[in-house]
Chains A and B, each alone.
Chain A
Amino acid sequence: MVFAAFSDPVVRVAFWAGAVALLVTLLQLVAIVLLRISLRARQARHARIFATWRPILMQSVYAAPGNLPALPQRDLISFLAIWNHYHESLRGDVKTHLNEIAHRVGADRMVQSALRKAPFQTRLQAVVAAGHLRQTENQDVLRDMLNDESPVLSLAAARVLLQIEPERAVPHILSHITSRLDWPAARVATMLQEAGAVNISKPLAQMAISAATRDAPRLIRFLALASPYEAGPAIRKILHSTDDDHAISTCLQIMNDPMNLDLVRQYASHPRWHVRVQAASALGRLGTRGDETLLEKMLSDEQWWVRYRAAQALAALPFVGWSELETIRERQTDRFAKDILAQIIAEQAERNSA
């Protein structure tokens, strides 16, 4: 009867589909078991390495290292994970002690080798370690990594190049900032801030001024974080040369130089609402006597956000007191302007009572 059933093609297909599915399920069970065994072994190895090296690395906070155990190649990734963590967390002499440990156990040579060829995770940890070791001989390899398809690896390489020799690295890194849009802006900003204004500010300012419209907002934000002092003149030049509302909005958002106040005022009536919002906020930061009239007009803007920021800006002006805010509110004929000021006054009251 069984053989008769199998003469039917639909039964044959059903049987083989089921059989293959069950076989692959069994193979998956084997894979799960092997993965779990491997995970346990990795966790045990990491725990052992952690237990061995953590006290030694902790000790290096206080004193130069004494006797050190050997470091086999297979333990490199776990060692580097702990070693990098301490380097990132601590400052001062401990860094010198940590580097001495790495030299004495041969980790520096292993890092050099791992940069060229190693599993991805090991290579990544090696890149970070190369920065802490200040290995100048690896710069060519690291520069090649700037073009790696992995954002985390290429960005780590960029950071390390800036750590090792910032002057030489800056032109290479800056040229990648606009092309590597897969580098998260937050990480790039952190990297540039770490590199220090003295290394970054002038070339970044120059780049922001001459950048294409698409790239300017991103660069100007980096500049403002890395070097607010250089950002002021760069913002002025960009605002004089562009009519891209995104670039204008970004410049207004980060503007802190009172010398640019005349530019801010002209954007208070810009056709795009997000530019007016940033103009209102900037007036609140930088405004002088007379600007309260401009802000009062913005309380009747058709966009809620413009009204809200204008009201906040009014409240932030040092020469506009509580009673003056109430007076401004009383004389508003526009219901929306009255309401938004009522909200801001209530917010101020809450803050003052806290």
Chain B
Amino acid sequence: MTMSLIEASLAAQWFFLVYFIALNGGYLLLNVVSIFSIVGYMREHSLSSLPPVYSSYEPPISILVPAYNEAGTIASSIRSLLQLSYSEFEIIVMNDGSSDETLEVLIREFDLIPFPEAYRPRLKTKPIKAIFNSNRHPNLRVVDKENGGKADALNVGINCSRYPLFCGVDADSVLQRDSLRRVVAPFLEDPTTVAAGGTIRIANGCRVRGGFLEKIDLPDHPLALFQIVEYLRAFLFGRLGWSPMNALLIISGAFGLFYKERVIKAGGYRTDTIGEDMELVVRLHRELRREGRPYRITFVPDPICWTEAPEDLKTLKNQRIRWQRGLAESLAGNLGLMFSRNGGAVGWVAFPFMALFEWLGPLIEVAGYVFMTALFLLGLISWPAFAAFLMAAMGMGMLLSTSAILLEEMSFHLYPKPTHAAKLFLVAILENFGYRQLNSVWRLIGLVRWMTGHKGGWGKMKRKASWHKSD
């Protein structure tokens, strides 16, 4: 009995160790792909002295802005979107049954009047109450609708949109003036592109004026700093690594550009999932693979969208629980893609990778830490053995995090001061002493909630940034 317990314990140790090595090894491989990808990208997009492209080739874009109880910030958000530099675009704000004065603010600030739009419900949604045009801004419309959630609001926006591409934007996203021009580039370079996502950066600590980023700096709050490193890791090689293989499974809801007809054909955003942004992308892959059509879903590494990260534990916890649930729902709802006959890299590499290391990852990671700690406390492994495991787990974590900092130095080096680079490197080390483990616990809670069918909500984010407050 004792021998079989020892054998089982040894087998478990090997399992957790091999898992940690495989997880980190996989991400390191993605890192290598990202290095080549970003070097190639910087080369091909470096020549600013060429004349600007012929603007008639830039397809017009509908910017969709779902809004729920954003009375305090919506006016300045829309004003900054109106200042984007692009040949032709429209902004559609979907007021999703707000209980505050969001609609009243919009009507007042943008001189809205009801408009007899021949609304065309190609996607099924909750009823709309009215459509407004702006007397002042011909490219601004507002749709007032019954509350149905973000996905439902986006589907209404798609129904209303007039242009072949739509861009879903969160109301609190801070874009750059040329964000649309950058995110549309893949569509101009490759006509088989159906979706493109951009890098989301953390705006905490930066100076934002008039809705645009004026100065880049690092925040002081440790939680925000940890998230900067995390976002660099997730975007710079998490997504950049998958993009060349056409295996990108996530485009952030904060800023992504889609070919409208293809999304309508896929059925639009699902309203019964909390991760509607990821679910749509996975479903697009599944359907296009099944149809055997050539297509690309790609990632633009330029930093083109900035967002505020939570600086309190409660909001951050809710966010990570929600993300994990969204991931589980997106993958579970599209299992047909995994190992499918025409699955390509997305079905045979990215999906299984996500399933093993992101979907089930929190369970195995938390179990690994708990198991090894229990063995140590029970005296079943020695302290040098326990230290070796911790060194492996945390050391590989540090390697991944510092790789993200290295990739940032090789590419955009947005943080100008040498002290910034030093600070980020230090944070990349420190995040492995508690922050990543805490994240794994939150993600495990998200996974359990998904498994048990617990219906959680979005929660309320405590916003500190004042740049979107009404002028």
A350 near B: Cβ within 8 Å? yes
Residues of B close to A125: CB separation below 8 A: 47, 49
The interface stretch among A8-16, A94-102, A166-174, A259-267 is: A8-16
Residues of A close to B120: CB separation below 8 A: 304
- A10 and B14 in contact (CB under 8 A), knowing A21-B398, A31-B406, A340-B118? yes
A348 near B: Cβ within 8 Å? no
A346 near B: Cβ within 8 Å? yes
Partner of A342, one of B45, B116, B396: B116
Residues of A close to B403: CB separation below 8 A: 28
A141 near B: Cβ within 8 Å? no
A237 near B: Cβ within 8 Å? no
User: How far does the Cβ of A51 sit from chain B's closest Cβ, in whole Å?
Assistant: 19
Residues of B close to A32: CB separation below 8 A: 402, 405-406, 409, 421, 425
Residues of A close to B425: CB separation below 8 A: 29, 32
Q: Give complex CA distance A153, B418 in Å.
A: 33
User: How far does the Cβ of A49 sit from chain B's closest Cβ, in whole Å?
Assistant: 15
A6 near B: Cβ within 8 Å? yes
Residues of B close to A336: CB separation below 8 A: 118
A68 near B: Cβ within 8 Å? no
Residues of A close to B189: CB separation below 8 A: 151, 182, 184
B32 near A: Cβ within 8 Å? no
A88 near B: Cβ within 8 Å? yes
Q: Give complex CA distance A21, B398 in Å.
A: 8
The interface stretch among A33-41, A56-64, A287-295, A316-324 is: A33-41
A90 near B: Cβ within 8 Å? no
User: How far does the Cβ of A330 sit from chain B's closest Cβ, in whole Å?
Assistant: 15
User: How far does the Cβ of A145 sit from chain B's closest Cβ, in whole Å?
Assistant: 14
In the complex, chain A residues 178-200 whose Cβ is within 8 Å of any chain B Cβ? 182, 184-187, 189-190, 193-194
Q: Give complex CA distance A325, B117 in Å.
A: 17
**B388 and A186 form a contact (CB under 8 A):** no
User: How far does the Cβ of A1 sit from chain B's closest Cβ, in whole Å?
Assistant: 6
A297 near B: Cβ within 8 Å? no
Partner of A124, one of B47, B52, B406: B47
**B418 and A152 form a contact (CB under 8 A):** no
Q: Give complex CA distance A339, B389 in Å.
A: 69
B108 near A: Cβ within 8 Å? no
User: How far does the Cβ of B8 sit from chain A's closest Cβ, in whole Å?
Assistant: 13
Partner of A14, one of B57, B392, B409: B392
**B115 and A346 form a contact (CB under 8 A):** yes
A206 near B: Cβ within 8 Å? no
Residues of A close to B4: CB separation below 8 A: none
Residue of B24, B56, B57, B425 with highest tally of chain A CB at under 10 A: B57
User: How far does the Cβ of A42 sit from chain B's closest Cβ, in whole Å?
Assistant: 11
B303 near A: Cβ within 8 Å? no
**A152 and B396 form a contact (CB under 8 A):** no
Q: How large is the interface on B (under 10, 10 to 19, 20 to 34, 35 or more residues)?
A: 35 or more
Q: Give complex CA distance A175, B13 in Å.
A: 62
In the complex, chain B residues 381-401 whose Cβ is within 8 Å of any chain A Cβ? 381-385, 388-396, 398-399
Q: Give complex CA distance A332, B12 in Å.
A: 75
Partner of A21, one of B135, B188, B399: B399
Residue of B54, B58, B405 with highest tally of chain A CB at under 10 A: B54
A229 near B: Cβ within 8 Å? no
User: How far does the Cβ of A78 sit from chain B's closest Cβ, in whole Å?
Assistant: 12
Q: Give complex CA distance A53, B62 in Å.
A: 43
Residues of A close to B118: CB separation below 8 A: 304, 307-308, 336, 339-340, 342-343
**B54 and A1 form a contact (CB under 8 A):** no
Question: Which residue on A lies nearest to B134, using beta carbons?
Answer: A350
A85 near B: Cβ within 8 Å? yes
User: How far does the Cβ of B416 sit from chain A's closest Cβ, in whole Å?
Assistant: 9
**A185 and B57 form a contact (CB under 8 A):** yes
**B53 and A186 form a contact (CB under 8 A):** yes
User: How far does the Cβ of B15 sit from chain A's closest Cβ, in whole Å?
Assistant: 10
**A36 and B116 form a contact (CB under 8 A):** no
**A15 and B43 form a contact (CB under 8 A):** no
Q: Give complex CA distance A185, B57 in Å.
A: 7
Q: Give complex CA distance A184, B47 in Å.
A: 14
Residues of A close to B54: CB separation below 8 A: 186-187, 189-190, 193, 225
Partner of A28, one of B17, B49, B116, B402: B402
A18 near B: Cβ within 8 Å? yes
**B49 and A84 form a contact (CB under 8 A):** yes
Residues of A close to B402: CB separation below 8 A: 25, 28-29, 32
Residues of B close to A307: CB separation below 8 A: 118
- A40 and B418 in contact (CB under 8 A), knowing A1-B384, A29-B402, A29-B425? yes
In the complex, chain B residues 362-421 whose Cβ is within 8 Å of any chain A Cβ? 381-385, 388-396, 398-399, 402-403, 405-406, 409-410, 413, 418, 421
**B384 and A6 form a contact (CB under 8 A):** yes
Q: Give complex CA distance A152, B24 in Å.
A: 35
Residues of B close to A4: CB separation below 8 A: 382
**B50 and A19 form a contact (CB under 8 A):** no
User: How far does the Cβ of A166 sit from chain B's closest Cβ, in whole Å?
Assistant: 17
User: How far does the Cβ of A114 sit from chain B's closest Cβ, in whole Å?
Assistant: 15
**A25 and B10 form a contact (CB under 8 A):** no
**B51 and A186 form a contact (CB under 8 A):** no
Q: Give complex CA distance A166, B388 in Å.
A: 68
In the complex, chain A residues 224-280 whose Cβ is within 8 Å of any chain B Cβ? 225
Residue of B117, B118, B395 with highest tally of chain A CB at under 10 A: B118
**B47 and A156 form a contact (CB under 8 A):** yes
Question: Which residue on A lies nearest to B418, using beta carbons?
Answer: A36
**B389 and A350 form a contact (CB under 8 A):** no
Per-position 1/0 for B418-434, Cβ under 8 A of A: 10010001000100000
Partner of A5, one of B49, B50, B138, B384: B384
User: How far does the Cβ of A331 sit from chain B's closest Cβ, in whole Å?
Assistant: 18
Residue of B24, B53, B385 with highest tally of chain A CB at under 10 A: B385
**A5 and B382 form a contact (CB under 8 A):** yes
Question: Which residue on A lies nearest to B185, using beta carbons?
Answer: A184
**B410 and A120 form a contact (CB under 8 A):** no
Residues of A close to B115: CB separation below 8 A: 343, 346, 350
User: How far does the Cβ of A77 sit from chain B's closest Cβ, in whole Å?
Assistant: 11
Residues of A close to B51: CB separation below 8 A: 88, 190, 194
B2 near A: Cβ within 8 Å? no
What are 10 pairs between A and B in contact, CB < 8 Å? A4-B382, A14-B389, A21-B24, A22-B391, A25-B402, A28-B402, A88-B49, A150-B43, A190-B52, A343-B118
A11-B388, A150-B44, A346-B116 are known; give 14 further A-B pairs, CB within 8 A: A5-B384, A13-B17, A17-B395, A19-B391, A35-B406, A36-B418, A121-B46, A124-B47, A128-B50, A152-B45, A159-B50, A186-B58, A189-B57, A354-B135
Chain B residues packing against A (C-beta within 8 Å): 10, 13-14, 17, 20-21, 24, 43-54, 56-58, 115-118, 120, 133, 135, 138, 185, 188-189, 191, 381-385, 388-396, 398-399, 402-403, 405-406, 409-410, 413, 418, 421, 425, 429
Chain A residues packing against B (C-beta within 8 Å): 1-2, 4-6, 8, 10-11, 13-15, 17-19, 21-22, 24-25, 28-29, 31-32, 35-36, 39-40, 81, 84-85, 88, 120-121, 124-125, 128, 150-152, 156, 159, 182, 184-187, 189-190, 193-194, 225, 304, 307-308, 336, 339-340, 342-343, 346, 350-351, 353-354
CB-CB nearest 5 A-B residue pairs: A18-B391, A21-B395, A186-B53, A186-B57, A18-B395
